[in-house]
């Protein structure tokens, strides 16, 4: 039986990729720093990350590595453990080197739409740095570039769920500017997991796939679709970015979370979460999913920081 190591196996997309791998008769090894912190209901073999104590041999005997490890934003550790993009880049470089040293035959790496080495945004710059490192590493690989994921449950689809939560709980919602010239192309995490496993089984040396779904929304249209789907209609006000940022910061502080960062707003505004002309992956679309989950979507706030406790 072939052996696949998956980072983030107890997290979000990694968990779905592991399920898909098992369905395809792979032996799954979860590479994680969350053993004991998060449940392991499928009883995967777990090993520490290569940079953690005891993780030196994490990739021994592994045929394929699927990497989902990353942090959404940098956090100073005021109320929870600190983390940063700089650290995430260093750790991932370590992971790639460990894979090469262990003789891993293929790496499937999760990146982002429009990574950019010249960007002042650490998320997009860090992802570009990692793509470059993978080129230099010379292990055959696939780089997958999703824009935004949604999953089986609203609680795990944090950004979409919290937009619906805002519609239900706030007197009005806002777009940064008019919200009509920047877009998002969501992909369902099961479609993403199938793609990741197709790439794990691919033998081409070097592949890059834009992992975007079949629907494209402007930010304003996303609010409208979520309002129609949930029946929670609110005025959608165009506001300057600074005002949107202050509002999300105040809401985040009240909720004990980071709702949206300044860099995330900038990334959105730069229209980085869509790829013109990309072939859509999968068949599950957000509009149908919203209707299916209309009764639960946005009923509870989903906290990013709470997930890391
Ligand atoms: N979710 C989206 O909408 C989205 C959109 C575009 C691109 N992506 C990309 O898709 C990949 C996977 O995303 P995901 O949402 O599935 O990730 P995730 O499950 O939130 O995170 C993957 C793993 O990274 C580690 N990690 C995450 N946050 C961390 C933190 N604050 N401190 C320390 N470790 C942390 C955890 O490893 P342990 O469990 O081992 O601790 C976690 O399981 C990422 O590369 C991301 O950039 C995601």
Q: Write out pLDDT tens, residues 117-165.
A: 999 999 999 999 999 999 998 899 999 999 999 999 999 999 999 999 9
Q: What's the CATH code, domain 3-149+184-211?
A: 3.40.50.720
Whether residue 113 has its Cβ less than 6 Å from ligand 1: no
Nearest to 213 by CA among 271, 264, 148, 151: 148
Find out whether 290 and 225 touch, Cβ atoms under 8 Å: yes
Cα(32) to centroid(ligand 1), Å: 11
The predicted model gives 19-41 an average pLDDT of: 96
- pLDDT tens sequence across 64-123: 999 999 999 998 877 677 889 999 999 999 999 999 999 999 999 999 999 999 999 999
pLDDT greater than 80 at residue 276: yes
- C-alpha dist (Å) from residue 271 to 11, 114, 143, 180, 265: 27, 9, 20, 10, 10
pLDDT tens digit sequence for 210-263:
999 999 999 999 999 999 999 999 999 999 999 999 999 999 999 999 999 999
Question: Which pLDDT value is given to residue 309?
Answer: 64
- Ligand 1 lined by 10 (C-beta under 6 Å): yes
- Cα separation, 10 vs 34, in Å, equals 7
**What is the tens place of the pLDDT at every residue in 128-137?**
999 999 999 8
Domain spans in the chain, listed from the N-terminal domain onward: 3-149+184-211, 152-183+216-272+284-307
Any idea how long the chain is? 309
User: What global pTM score does this model have?
Assistant: 0.97
């Amino acid at each position: 039986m072939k052996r696949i190591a998956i980072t983030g196996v107890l997290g979000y997309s990694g968990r779905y990729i592991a399920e898909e791998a098992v369905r395809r008769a792979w032996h799954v090894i979860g590479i994680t720093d969350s053993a004991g912190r998060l449940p392991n209901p499928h009883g995967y073999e777990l090993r520490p990350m290569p940079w953690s104590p005891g993780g030196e041999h994490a990739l021994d005997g592994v045929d394929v590595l699927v990497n989902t490890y990353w942090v959404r934003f940098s956090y100073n550790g005021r109320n929870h453990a600190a983390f940063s993009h700089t650290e995430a880049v260093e750790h991932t470089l370590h992971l790639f080197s460990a894979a090469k040293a262990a003789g891993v035959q293929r790496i499937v790496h999760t990146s982002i739409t429009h990574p950019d080495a010249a960007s002042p945004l650490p998320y997009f710059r860090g992802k570009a740095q990692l793509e470059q490192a993978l080129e230099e590493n010379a292990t055959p690989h696939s780089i997958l570039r999703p824009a935004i994921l949604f999953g089986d449950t609203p609680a795990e689809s944090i950004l979409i769920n919290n937009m619906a939560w805002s519609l239900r709980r706030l007197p009005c919602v806002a777009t940064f500017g008019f919200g009509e010239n920047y877009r998002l192309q969501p992909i369902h995490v099961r479609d993403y997991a199938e793609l990741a496993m197709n790439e794990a089984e691919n033998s081409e040396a070097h592949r890059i796939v834009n992992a975007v779904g079949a629907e494209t929304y402007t930010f304003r249209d996303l609010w409208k679709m979520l309002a129609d789907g949930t029946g929670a209609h609110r005025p959608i006000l165009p506001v300057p970015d600074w005002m949107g940022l202050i509002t999300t910061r105040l809401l985040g502080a009240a909720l004990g979370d980071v709702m949206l960062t300044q860099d995330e707003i900038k990334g959105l505004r730069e229209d980085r979460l869509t790829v013109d002309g990309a072939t859509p992956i999968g068949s599950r679309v957000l509009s149908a999913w919203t209707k299916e989950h209309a009764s639960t979507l946005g009923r509870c706030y989903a906290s990013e920081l709470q997930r890391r406790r």
